[in-house]
Structure 1
Amino acid sequence: MSTIAPPLRCYTATTVRILRQLRADHRTVAMLLLVPTLLLTLIYFVYRDTPTPPGVPTMFDRIGVSMLGILPFIVMFLITAIAMQRERTSGTLERLMTTPLSKGDLLGGYGTAFSVAAAAQAGLACLVAFGLLGMTTRGSVWLVVLIAVVDAVLGVALGLLASAFARTEFQAVQFMPVIVGPQFFLCGLLVPRDQLPHWLHLISDVLPLSYAVDALEQVSRNTGATGRMWLDIVVVAGFATVALALGAATLRRRTA
């Protein structure tokens, strides 16, 4: 009888284990679910009294819809990178790599588990934004939810990739300004991308968060789904897939 465990069983077992660990870590669950929602609520109060001409979207509607993609992305990147690095420093990862579990199964299990958490996080943030804070868009709310989930999954994928190059949890956190910072400044939230200097616009073209924000802007401006919006979503999903593949390829079997 072969001693190699079926790949699907290894993948499923890893996913279930990570979900159980997350459920038992109440502080991480609270951060996952509440931080984007609380920050979005803060943005609402910041812009609540900002004058808005008739027929023009409020500042909260314009800024908030983009933040529905940005905040889950940032939080999932941070939590995923730290959680994966914790597996290394505790020795759990090394023990797992001595089993029939492949790198793909390991990263796939982590990616799936945290993607489930990302979906819950993005769904809650959208529920609060549209249900309690009165955010409005011309397009479907469900499209906003979809894009927010894809953005959060992107954060998971990049967090797993960043953790492959860190040796401590502190180093994992240090990747945040390197990976997240440029994307935040160049995604079009602060200044429209077509108004950026040409060389910065070229850089923004290769950053996945630019396409996420553009997809959300497409939903906010159009009553229906557009071809450009779907293309942006495909690009973001493609970045996430490549990041997971690179994470598996660079996964070290030893922590030191």
Structure 2
Amino acid sequence: MNATRTLATTARVLTQIRHDPRTVGLLVVVPSLLIGLVAWIFTDTDVFATIGPAMLALFPFVVMFLVTSITTLRERRTGTLERLLSMPLGKGDFILGYTLAFGLLAVIQSLVASGYAIWVCGLTIKGDVWLLVAVAVTDAVLGSTLGLFASAFARTEFQVVQFMPAIVFPQILLGGIFLPRDQLPAGLKEISDWLPLSHAVDALNAVATNSHDAAYVGGQLLIIGAFAVGAVVVGALTLQRRTA
């Protein structure tokens, strides 16, 4: 891999997205609006204080997964990737460049969503706010890397959507969003331990309630980061030059 080529890919992706207002709105605005809708639904109750941290994990994760996977797939379907790889650009440069671009967008998205949840929707955070933001950012980056991973196997945008039930929905169901993971039936708790979104939800809840120290949250961040790196590596190894 070459740093210059990777950064050039990053700049190209960011330039393309900057000229697409709908994608920018989907990435930056929609997760905050969804969090606000959840807070509005549970006005005058304590429910949002309980599920709010999980929403910070859920909505950015799903949005980044969809946008990244579809954008990367479009590069293959239009032949852009094949033309790029005919030049001195390797698959690693391409994947890492996309990871950096969408990682930067994930940072912006998470900062906006976290700030909106805390200062507009009134989400109470008993721990350090910077830790909450760090987890939210890492979780959004995870969504991007899993999107890159899924795009390597999909042939159409419809197939990307089909990956949602296989990759995203099990993590939502078993991640502790609807039911605490320690209350899951035997077997499902063990499965949830191997799903990265579970660790993001655990870490966000730990920061929100200040129930664990920074070392615990740091350990969860390392697990999420390991999944993200693994998705990038597998995506680079399996990426096809174009879609038939």
Normalising by the smaller structure, the TM-score range is over 0.9
**Between Structure 1 and Structure 2, whose CA radius of gyration is higher?**
1
Instruction: Give 1:226 deviation, angstroms.
Output: 3.0
Q: CA RMSD in A?
A: 1.2
For 2:120, the equivalent position in structure 1 comes to: 132
For 2:193, the equivalent position in structure 1 comes to: 205
For 1:35, the equivalent position in structure 2 comes to: 30
1:112 pairs, out of 96, 100, 124, with 100
> Aligned equivalents of 1:225 and 1:92: distance in 2?
47
For 2:59, the equivalent position in structure 1 comes to: 71
For 1:250, the equivalent position in structure 2 comes to: 238
2:142 pairs, out of 146, 150, 154, with 154
- Residue identity opposite 2:193 in structure 1: D
Instruction: Give 1:214 deviation, angstroms.
Output: 0.5
Is the 2:118–2:125 contact (alpha carbons within 8 Å) kept by the matching residues of 1? no
Q: Residue 223 and residue 195 in structure 1: after superposition, are their counterparts in 2 closer, same or farther (change >3 A)?
A: closer
Q: For each residue in 1:80-118, what CA deviation from the matched residue of structure 2 results, as whole angstroms up to 9, or x when unmatched?
A: 011011111111011111111111110000000011111
Is the 1:122–1:148 contact (alpha carbons within 8 Å) kept by the matching residues of 2? yes
Q: SS at the partner of 2:187?
A: helix
- Residue identity opposite 1:187 in structure 2: G
Q: For each residue in 1:46-72, what CA deviation from the matched residue of structure 2 results, as whole angstroms up to 9, or x when unmatched?
A: 11122xxxxxxx221111111111111
Equivalence map 1:39-50=2 (5 Å): 39-50=34-45
Gapped regions of structure 2 (runs ≥ 5): none
> Aligned equivalents of 2:227 and 2:133: distance in 1?
19
- Residue identity opposite 1:124 in structure 2: V
Q: Residue 211 and residue 124 in structure 1: after superposition, are their counterparts in 2 closer, same or farther (change >3 A)?
A: same
How does the TM-score come out when normalised to structure 1? 0.93
Alignment length (residue pairs) = 244
Instruction: Give 1:139 deviation, angstroms.
Output: 0.3
1:13 aligns with 2:1: no
1:103 aligns with 2:91: yes
Q: For each residue in 1:164-220, what CA deviation from the matched residue of structure 2 results, as whole angstroms up to 9, or x when unmatched?
A: 000111111211121100000000111111111111111101100000001011101
Is the 1:87–1:93 contact (alpha carbons within 8 Å) kept by the matching residues of 2? yes
- Residue identity opposite 1:126 in structure 2: S
Instruction: Give 1:44 deviation, angstroms.
Output: 0.5
Is the 2:54–2:204 contact (alpha carbons within 8 Å) kept by the matching residues of 1? yes
2:214 pairs, out of 207, 226, 240, with 226
> Aligned equivalents of 2:242 and 2:70: distance in 1?
17
